[in-house]
């Protein structure tokens, strides 16, 4: 039996899009865990849903940029730095955005 595809609630989608617009385009595993926890208040969601949403959204943005560059060639923007992922067990120092309050989490491995 095929699994049902995840469809974000309007609230979840609004929050995800807002985070992306504010510059959170490549969240690390700690940030994905925090976002998942927050979004679960608005409906069913799993860690992988958040991870793949950001991955797919970023890919679609790159496609739009490439399409626009073919129509109006302009120099590409500098690449964004890769996010670092920590796989250590125990408490993880995690900030959702720069200069936001620090939250300590116990990292869950999937």
DSSP per residue over 31-55, as a string? HHHHHHHHHGGGS---HHHHHHHHH
Predicted pLDDT of residue 39: 96
- The tens digit of pLDDT for each residue in 57-79 reads 999 999 998 888 888 866 666 77
25-to-38, 53, 66, 73 alpha-carbon distances in Å: 17, 10, 18, 24
pLDDT digits (tens, 9 = 90+) for 79-91: 776 655 444 445 5
Q: What's this model's pTM, rounded to 2 decimal places?
A: 0.66
């Amino acid at each position: 039996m095929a699994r049902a595809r995840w469809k974000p609630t309007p609230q979840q989608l609004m929050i995800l899009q807002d985070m992306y617009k504010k510059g959170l385009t490549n969240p690390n595993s700690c940030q994905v865990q925090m976002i998942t926890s927050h979004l679960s208040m608005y409906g069913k969601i799993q860690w992988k849903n958040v991870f793949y949403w950001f991955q797919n959204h970023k890919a679609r943005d790159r496609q739009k940029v490439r399409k626009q560059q073919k129509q109006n060639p302009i120099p590409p923007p500098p690449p964004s730095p890769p996010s670092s992922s920590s796989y250590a067990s125990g408490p993880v120092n995690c900030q959702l955005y720069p200069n936001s309050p620090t939250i300590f989490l116990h990292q869950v491995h999937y």
